[in-house]
Amino acid sequence: MAPRTLFEKVWSAHEVSAETADTPAVLYIDLHLIHEVTSPQAFQVLRERGLPVRRTDRTLGTMDHSTPTLTSQVFGGAPIAVDSAARQVAALERNCTEFGVELLALRHAQRGIVHVIGPELGLSQPGKTIVCGDSHTSTHGALGALAFGIGTTEVGHVLATQCLLQRKPRTLAINVEGALGRGVTAKDLILGIIGQIGVAGGTGQVIEYRGSTIRGLAMEGRLTVCNMSIEAGARAGMIAPDETTYRYLQGRPRAPRGADWEAALERWRALPSDPGAHFDREVHVNATRIEPMITYGTNPGMVIPISAAIPQRPGDAAFARALDYMGFTAGEPIKDRKVNVVFVGSCTNARLSDLRAAAGVLRGKRIARGITMLVVPGSQDVKRQAETEGLDRIFTEAGAQWRESGCSMCLGMNGDLVPRGEYSVSTSNRNFEGRQGAGARTLLASPLTAAACALTGRVTDPREVL
């Protein structure tokens, strides 16, 4: 057999029927994750057509996008302050009960951001096809799964048939070589990659991240890299499973055990791309050149090393408009610009290692006067582990707010908002206009950089405080 890529192996193992000139492939889905925002209309379609959920055992619900992060509203009996969020939470509870779908509801000990809990529970595994009505489903590809975001109509298709109609995407290899410098994290790496290939650089393609730098990343860093594949426009991002993957998965609550684990390992070890496998396109990235990165504009491709000046693009009206929105001037350094809000959270950077990194910067110190800092763990499990290590105390003693898990200020659906005109250094994934609240100005960065900015109240190179 001709050498095959990781993607091709996973894809072909899930073809119920291959694509033809007239029809797309019917692709089987191993794991379907659902949440409260993109599922109500899909359940409604099932109801209208009298259809059951075909495989409740392959479906798991959680709530994250619009849920409150204030403990009083999650556990304290206070009503959810945002009415629409309360309605969506109630609708998901009703739908999961009616259709027999397991739900990690608001007060469940394992609830969290959907892309944090999948890997954390050991449900996201190498070789699986995983979908969710959320574009950051690409995250789970870090474990060697084919994972991608879908719309609500497709959520309905998977609920009803456990399958999707799909045309086969093209493949893009991103080969990353070289050691990451001091203060440079997986977040900086993926921001650097997006800066290099552009926000549409991955359209129609599934990325496989390869090379020594990727091999050297811990699992949580790999999750951060794959998470932002969609910010390059890619359908999915994948990393071949290896010992790092297996060590991460072994013993997790829903990972295989005993003889099943051994059998799974044997299957998983056959998944990495064969030597000589062909990719439709290859890109090379020199990791040694990547610095702590920060965005200055209104899409994630508008990114620079933190020590650099904001670029100049005379005659580019869209660029000028973006800088106008941000209140920045072309050619000026971004360093030392004033910051109002710091957000450590989201499916990109709210895992334990992210919180440790931010806490490491803040330990024994106070954040700058006037700064609002939210630290929102990616899951209730991350929250408990962080509290066991005393990270919550470091954050609260520094003057930051320590919250219950959820998407929170990444998209501001739950009322955690950046005020109009204010600057937010955020560990999340999108700096679109209004993403964190109408008129909010977002600068995307790593947890290290975000914590450094909180200390000084200004855009700060984390290497200066490490």
The contact set with another protein (CB under 8 A) reads 16-17, 21-24, 26, 28, 37-38, 40-41, 44-45, 49, 51, 65-66, 82, 84-85, 87-88, 91, 133-135, 149-154, 156-157, 160-163, 165, 167, 169, 199-200, 203-204, 230, 233, 235, 299, 301, 318, 321, 411-413, 420, 430, 432-435, 438-439
CB of 42 to another protein, least distance (A): 9
* Beta carbon nearer to another protein, 28 or 296: 28
Neighbouring C-alpha atoms within 13 Å toward the C-beta of 338: 7
DSSP letters of 9-64?
A: HHHHHTEEE---SSS-EEEE-SEEEE-TTTSHHHHHHHHHHTPPPTTGGGEEEE--
Q: For residue 371, give both structure tokens.
A: 């700064």
CB of 246 to another protein, least distance (A): 22
Q: Which of 60, 154, 155 is nearest to 108 (CA)?
A: 60
CB of 199 to another protein, least distance (A): 6
CB of 120 to another protein, least distance (A): 22
* Beta carbon nearer to another protein, 122 or 202: 202
How distant, in Å, are the alpha carbons of 14, 264, 299, 329 from that of 316?
Answer: 45, 52, 15, 14
Q: Which of 327, 399, 348 is nearest to 142 (CA)?
A: 348
* Beta carbon nearer to another protein, 69 or 88: 88
* Beta carbon nearer to another protein, 208 or 381: 208
Relative to beta strand 372-375, strand 441-444 is unpaired
CA distance 441 to 401: 20
Residue 206 sits at φ, ψ, to 5 deg, of -105, 125
CB of 247 to another protein, least distance (A): 27
Q: Which of 258, 175, 169 is nearest to 211 (CA)?
A: 175
CB of 237 to another protein, least distance (A): 13
* Beta carbon nearer to another protein, 156 or 378: 156
* Beta carbon nearer to another protein, 184 or 236: 236
CB of 142 to another protein, least distance (A): 19
Phi-psi region of 201 (alpha: psi -120 to 50; beta: other; left: phi over 0): alpha
- Residue 148: in which H helix or E strand, if any? strand 146-149
* Beta carbon nearer to another protein, 371 or 418: 418
